[in-house]
Amino acid sequence: MNAPYERIHIIINPASGGDEPILNTMNDIFNEYGVSWDVSITKALGDGAAHAKEAIAKGAQAILAYGGDGTQLDVAEGMINTKVPMGVLPGGTANALADDLGLPRNLPEALRLVCEPHQIRSIDVGQVGERYFLLRIGTGVIATFSEVVSREMKDRFGVGAYIIGSLQAIRDPKNTRYTLTLDGETVETEGAACMISNGNAIGALNIRLSPDIKIDDGLLDVYVANLDVQTALGIAGSITGREDVPLQHWQANEIKITAEPPQKIYADGEQEAAAETPCTIKALAGALHVIVRPEEEA
């Protein structure tokens, strides 16, 4: 059976996937389709981007990333503004990018999608300083959440780690003064959290943030939550799909954010801060090509 690609490179986060025999599954399916493939392993943040760049330079026709959303981002950073498509092999706790794009969560099905006729979708990539994000960045309560939810918590509690992290993050919310410049228009506001979102899905709990958020519209969605004692569960409410959470919302392609006091910014749930305010965030329209289901299956 002929596959769309003859040479595929796979980048694997070995901390992902539990006890699933991933290499055996990959070998069986790629042999079935006559695909030549090789593998790189990530050991630290930045390895995914480096492996992707090296594989592209050596002629890989597609790069597949196996792991959670942090791994997908790490690999994508090495593929931005290239013509080589990226395949998402969900192996993490949340897998929000896969959910946002309607991709399989099952590894064999995800591999077969790559090997059979499919579409290539150009999606936006968010940039903050010198770093990137696929899903969202956040400050305040959201940053606290990112700091709290560790690799060890995910391994021990699975999806429950996100619920525990949410409850810990909102125990003592403190409001921050934000100055936002949205495509040239300045807004001053106050809140316990500021989130700038490129993607819609929160994969850990299988919900969508808002129908307004589209990953390929060239815009970022900005939310600020102003929490007091009565509404301290607002962030948790948004994570559980409530529609009555008090959020301010704007859309823009480029956002300049200043916070008083200054805030660390975290991307896609990673524990290492991507930037610190003041900074500029922008959407790079269509900067990443991703393998998705054929239109009739989407």
Q: How many helices (H) and strands (E) does the chain have?
A: 9, 18
> 221 and 78, same structural domain?
no
> 146 and 18, same structural domain?
no
Q: Using the 3D structure, point to which of 117, 145, 167 is the last residue of a domain.
A: 117
* Residue 47 belongs to a domain: yes
Helix, strand, or coil (residue 144):
helix
pLDDT of residue 229 exceeding 90: no
Range of the domain at 216: 131-285
* Residue 298 belongs to a domain: no
Confidence of residue 246 (pLDDT cuts 50, 70, 90): low
* Residue 290 belongs to a domain: no
> 77 and 22, same structural domain?
yes
Q: What is the pLDDT of residues 11-66, one digit of tens each?
A: 999 988 667 789 999 999 999 999 999 999 999 989 999 999 999 999 999 999 99
What is the pairing mode between strands 86-90 and 62-67?
Answer: parallel
Helix, strand, or coil (residue 212):
coil
The CATH number covering residue 277 comes to 2.60.200.40
pLDDT of residue 239: 44
The CATH number covering residue 104 comes to 3.40.50.10330
269 Rama sector, left if φ>0, alpha if ψ -120 to 50, beta otherwise? left
What is the pairing mode between strands 275-276 and 176-182?
Answer: unpaired
Q: What is the pLDDT of residues 179-189, one digit of tens each?
A: 999 999 999 99
Distances (CA, A) of 227 to 21, 93, 153, 246, 268: 45, 28, 26, 8, 22
**HSE-up (13 A, CA, CB side) for residue 10:** 24
> 279 and 155, same structural domain?
yes
| H/E segment holding residue 168 | helix 160-169
> 277 and 140, same structural domain?
yes
> 200 and 175, same structural domain?
yes
> 136 and 110, same structural domain?
no
